[in-house]
Chains A and B, each alone.
Chain A
Amino acid sequence: MARAVIISCAITGGSDTKHMNPAVPVTPEEIANEAIQAHAAGAAIAHIHVRDPQTAKASMDPALYKEVVDRIRDSGCPILLNLTTGPGGILVVENDAPHNFRDGSHLSSAEERIQHVIENRPEMCTLDVTTMNYSDLAVTNTKAMLDRMAMLIEPLGVKIEMEVFDTGQLWQAADMCERGVIKDNLPLFQLCLGIPWGGRATIESMQLMRDQLPHNAIWASFGISRFEFPMVASAVVLGGHVRVGMEDNLYLSRGKLTPGNRPLVERAVQIIESIGDYPANVDEARNILGIKN
């Protein structure tokens, strides 16, 4: 029987990618329009970061989030909104004085990291259950920080998407569920693959992680860069949901930049349908995720 597969679109992310692809949306208006377009193409969830409109760099400004959310809601677009809480965990260690946090470190309190979630009450937000070398930077999310963020987020009625980048992080996320820090009875895991130095974007990695999930888990997975579409196919076949978008991948095919998020979502729809499943609409996605209207 054909299965409803939820497509998330990660619209813009927080990396310095604007100079690599001019289609990367920067202003709240651009980000909102891209989310609306992604929905029109078949995405049921928009995963949203915001950027400083002047510099195009990642921002945590709640006012920018509010403008994005308002614009999407005012347009009548029903897409589920999934705001990131990722920024605020970056640690840059100075080799010669490792107790000094070098310029570039960006560590915020739990309250600062979820201010925009408190103000905007999206359907969902991410929680990076991860401490890892994220390319050259260390990202740190301690147990105490994660517990505190989770305990602040869930009472807002916002569903947590646990982002995990490797097998041990998945284990820690499952432990948060087991300890009851995350109370969701349909806990949602996002298996983020192919980011240096996390789990690889291979079917083997995805399968190993899937097999580790709690029985009641809902899961999605994605691969970055050239692994975006192979990982869409893998997740569909392995029974998960999928994610595409310009946060993860700037190309439609080798050497050919994507002109926006919409063509990436369209490609995911093609993959899902040609395998024999179908993209979930927003109501189906709400039902699968246990998000009430």
Chain B
Amino acid sequence: MSRPVIISCAVTGGADTKEMNPAVPVTPEEIAEEVLSAHSAGAAVAHIHVRNPSTGKASMKTSYYSEVVKRVRDAKCDVVINLTTGPGARFAVDTMSPLEPGPGSVMKTAEERVAHVIENKPDICSLDVATMNFGDRPMVNSPDMLAEMAQLIQSAGVKPELEVFDVGHVSLANHLVKTGIISDSKPLYQLCLGIPWGAPASPESMTLMRNMLPKDAIWASFGISRYEFPMVATATVLGGHVRVGLEDNLYISRGKLASGNAQLVERAVKIINAIGENVATPSQAREIFGLNEGNDTRKAAE
């Protein structure tokens, strides 16, 4: 029997990618437009970061999030909205005097990191269950900080998506579920692969991490850059859901930039269908995620 596979589209991310692909959306309007076209192409979930419209750099400003969410909802688009809570965990040390935060350190409180979630009540928000070297600089999310964020997020009726980047992160996420800090009968895991220095994007690491998940977990996985499509196929075969988008990958094929998020989603649709599964609609995704009416912002907006 064919299985509905949920496609998430990570429409823009927070990395400095605008100069690498001009199709990367920057303003709230552009981001909302990309969400709508990703949805038309088959995405049931939109994973959203915002950017400063003047600089193109990552932003944490609640008003930008509110504008994106309002534009999507006003368009009567029922896509499941997933806002990031990643920014605010960038730690930099001064190597010569390491007790001083170095330049580029951006460490925020739990309240600051979820303010846009409390304000906009999306269906889902991400929670980075990860302390790791994220490229050159550490991303630091201590278990204490995660507990505080989880509490604030769940009190707002928002479902956390547990983003994990390596094997040990799965163990910590499992611990948060087991101890009730994540109180969700269908805990949602996102296995993020291929980001230096996290787990590599390979069928072996995805399989290992999948095998560690609790029985009632819902999971998705993605690989970045050239591993985006191979990992769509792998997750589909292994029983998970998938994610594509310009946050993770700027190319449709080697040397050829993607024209927008819709093109990446269309490719994921092709892969899923060719394997013999079908693409989940937003309402099927809501059912799979166990999203109740209470945190369905589409209903609330009507």
Contact = CB atoms under 8 A, between A and B. Distances in A.
A197 B110 contact: no
A110 B97 CA distance: 9
Interface in B204-232: 204-205, 208, 211-212
A142 B136 contact: yes
A212 interface: yes
B77 interface: no
B172 A133 contact: yes
Interface string A82-117: 000000100111011111010001011110000000
Contacts of B101: 99
A168 B166 contact: yes
Interface stretch (B52-60, B195-203, B269-277): B195-203
A91 B140 CA distance: 9
Interface stretch (A35-43, A169-177, A220-228, A261-269): A169-177
Interface in B250-287: none
B197 to A, nearest CB: 4
A168 B168 CA distance: 10
B109 A211 contact: no
Q: Which size bracket describes the interface of B in this complex?
A: 35 or more
Interface string B92-117: 11011111010001011110000000
A40 B95 CA distance: 41
A167 B109 contact: no
A168 B132 contact: yes
Contacts of A101: 99
Nearest to A140: B138
A138 B208 contact: no
A205 interface: yes
A169 B199 CA distance: 8
Nearest to B165: A168
A152 B167 CA distance: 31
B21 interface: no
Given A136-B142, A205-B208, A208-B205, A142 B137 contact: yes
Interface string B155-167: 0000000000111
Interface stretch (A48-56, A57-65, A143-151, A237-245): A143-151
A97 to B, nearest CB: 7
Most buried by B among A91, A138, A199: A138
Interface string A133-164: 10011101111110010000000000000000
Given A98-B108, A108-B98, A138-B138, 10 more contacts: A95-B148, A107-B98, A132-B168, A133-B141, A138-B140, A140-B138, A142-B137, A143-B137, A166-B166, A197-B175
Interface of B: 88, 91-93, 95-99, 101, 105, 107-110, 131-133, 135-138, 140-145, 148, 165-169, 171-172, 175, 195-200, 204-205, 208, 211-212
Interface of A: 88, 91-93, 95-99, 101, 105, 107-110, 131-133, 136-138, 140-145, 148, 165-169, 171-172, 175, 195-200, 204-205, 208, 211-212
